Amino acid sequence: MKKFFITIMMVFLSVSCKPSGMAHDYTNGLKEVLEKYFNWYGEYPPCLDSLVAFCNTFPIENIESADSLSMAIDFIKKEKQNLKLDYSNPTVMTEKLLITMDGDTIVNMQQKKHLSFLWELKRTYEFCNYDAPRSFEDIMTFFNVMKEVEDDTLFYRCCASTLRYLEKNNYRISWQFDDDCLYMISDGDTIDYFCGYHPCVPSDWRARYEFRYFDIKSVYIPDNDIDAEFRKGLKMLKEEKDFVMPNEDRSQDPALVFTLDKGLQLYCENITADLDSEWFKVLSDYCRHFAESHGVGKIIFASPCYQRSN
């Protein structure tokens, strides 16, 4: 009888205590693909279909533990009606994910959030606006303008995901602009910051060659046709009025800004120019006509200090 009882117990323990190989394999594969998704998008997938679609973009055979990953994908497809995803954010910069099935926890993961492509978006803003963004609203407005041009790129799809997350958690973030830097502060800690650099630095060439156009609300206009037409008009103006360059040194071309309310002004303080000269008066009239006829509120550009040929 004792021998029979021991035999029964050994059978019971071998069945109940032995870890399920399949459960172990698909759990590891599931964690691996969730980590890859998080590293790519900066957040966990909003639904299981998104996770499966993400898996289909990777050549599984080239990934370490490919068998586990394949098993995890098959498991998700088979059991997705029974799986429940539960998200939480202990802090703005951490995201927690629980995946449960029939009340049992399959995955419990928490990772520090990285704001996917946010730095690159702010740098693009700075490059296009010649200024750092001063608020979350500045970033959102710029993104909405640029996505009309490049909405189908991976960069802007990832940016959209990051901005949706920030918009959802914006009540927990204080955006502070100080000394050309935009700081993101939450729970008393600086979670991110970005400092712009100004094109008026003598070594910076941008303001001399990269013209910028803005609408009446000072929102950047990404339109190459407007740029081409403005430059063509400048060239015609110079030739028709018979202006020439006094010398070949373009390094001292003054950076200029034209606005409908203030007219033509120097954009940088470190380079001087006589805006009362004949060329700049003609140039100011041209800028006003161009701006009014094209719905432009501000232009940042540069021009040589032309003089009459005679």
* Largest CA-CA distance found in the chain, in angstroms, rounded: 123
**3-state SS string for 73-100:** HHHHHHHCCCEEEEEEEEECCEEEEEEE
pLDDT at residue 207 in the model: 54
Yes or no: say if 122 and 182 are a contact pair by the CB < 8 Å rule: yes
Please report how the helices 278-294 and 224-240 are oriented relative to each other, as an axis angle in degrees rounded to 10: 150
Residue given tokens 């995803």 in the structure block: 85
| Residues forming beta bridges with residue 181, ordered by sequence position | 178, 195
Q: How confident is the model at residue 20, as a pLDDT?
A: 42
Q: Which residues of 211-247 are buried (b: 16+ CB within 10 A; e: fewer)?
A: bbbbeeeeebbeeeebbeebeeebeebbeeeebeeee
5 confidence band (pLDDT: 50, 70, 90): very low
Q: Are 85 and 48 in contact (CB under 8 A)?
A: yes
Residue 6 has pLDDT above 80, yes or no: no
pLDDT band at 204 (very low <50, low <70, confident <90, very high): low
Q: Please tell me the distance from the alpha carbon of residue 196 to that of residue 129, in angstroms, as a whole number.
A: 10
101-131 b/e with 16+ CB inside 10 Å = b? eeeeebbeeebebbbbbbeebbebbbebbbb
- In the sheet with 298-302, reading across from the earlier edge strand, the strands are 212-214, 298-302, 255-259, 263-266
Model confidence band, residue 141 (pLDDT cutoffs 50, 70, 90):
very high
Reduced DSSP (H G I as helix, E B as strand, rest coil) percent helix, strand, coil of the chain, to 5: 45, 20, 30
- Residue 11: the pLDDT is 40
Given a cut of 90, whether residue 285 has pLDDT beyond it is yes
